[in-house]
Amino acid sequence: MSSNNNVTGTVAILGGTGFHISRIFLTEYRKEFPVVRITTRDPSSAKAQQLANLGAKLYKTSDSFDDVLSGVDVVVNALPTFISEEAKKELLAAIVRAGPKVYFLSEFGDDWRQNDFEGYEHAEWGRKRVILANTQAALRGTQTKIISVYTGNFAGWFFLPALGIDIEKNVYSPLGPASLRIAVTHEDDIARSVARLAILSLDPATASTVPNHVRISGQNVSYEEIRDAVARVKGVPKGEIKSYDLDEYKKNLKANPSNFIMDFVRALIGEGKVDWSDSNANELVNPGQSLWKWKTVEDFLRSQ
């Protein structure tokens, strides 16, 4: 495989003041992406200014998307999916006009293609389904490659009682055995994966190796392993594991649908659908961990 040495491009990161994507492009992938454009509603905010100081070019989200997208090679959409329908339409039309080589959708979560919550699925996934379908329809027959990157949970959105991971009480509650595994990826590693996928896609020698749907999982960690990591890091006794029944949980969720997406993710974990140990593209983006070492939940806990 080519070393992708000569790849360079311009990238636009929409909603780029959100999680760590912009900072990693600006610091670790600047050679490949000398121009990093970011949209923000408030260019004077501390976050936007920090990124400007690293060299980002700031664009106001309320201005025409044509400006930020003009001449870009890569677009990373990191906006929340609940932006107005009008803004979504304007953005998609601007993407079609700009014709970037690669367009990353705002996914970065669970691989909802395998969901089984008929009639009560969380609205976030409904929005993502519609965005994907509309984007595919609008870009059909063009040269723009659409990439959906699924990452499991962010490390920063992981230690949650809603997922059955209560590190304050030191109690771990899988919907099934404690060996159930959960894909979790540190936000910095998600950003690195996106940069690598962009580079691989821009290089004609490797472009065809990049699928449209990509699962990344920095770690696939079990409830038992999380419990043990917490004990090591916090110096507490190994916590209690209390298993619950998956079918009962899903029946309850159906009867009382929750607004919190993690209540649904917990069921996906119970179904074994978030164990991506054997179905991820980690090797594609970071062969043999030669480019970075994937951060573990234990690394994350130690950094807190």
Tell me how far, at minimum, the Cβ of 23 lies from ligand NAP, in Å. Answer: 12
- Closest among 42, 122, 109, 118 to 78, alpha carbons compared: 109
Q: Toward ligand NAP, which CB reaches closer, 151 or 173? A: 151
Q: The sheet that has 102-104: what strands, in order across it?
A: 57-60, 35-40, 10-14, 74-77, 102-104, 145-150, 213-215
Chain residues that interact with ligand NAP, rule: CB under 6 A: 15, 17-19, 40-42, 45, 48, 61, 78-81, 83, 106-109, 151, 153-154, 157
Tell me how far, at minimum, the Cβ of 61 lies from ligand NAP, in Å. Answer: 5
Query: Do residues 192 and 28 lie in contact, with contact meaning Cβ atoms separated by under 8 Å?
Result: yes
Q: How many residues does the chain have?
A: 304
Tell me how far, at minimum, the Cβ of 60 lies from ligand NAP, in Å. Answer: 9
Q: Toward ligand NAP, which CB reaches closer, 112 or 172? A: 112
Tell me how far, at minimum, the Cβ of 237 lies from ligand NAP, in Å. Answer: 28
Q: Toward ligand NAP, which CB reaches closer, 7 or 12? A: 12
Q: Toward ligand NAP, which CB reaches closer, 39 or 173? A: 39
- Structural tokens at position 197: 């996928």
Tell me how far, at minimum, the Cβ of 184 lies from ligand NAP, in Å. Answer: 8
Alpha-carbon gap, residue 131 to 137, rounded angstroms:
10
Residue, CB closest to ligand NAP: 18
Query: 59 has which bridge partners?
Result: 39
- H/E run at residue 275: none
Q: Toward ligand NAP, which CB reaches closer, 7 or 214? A: 214
Query: 74 has which bridge partners?
Result: 11, 102
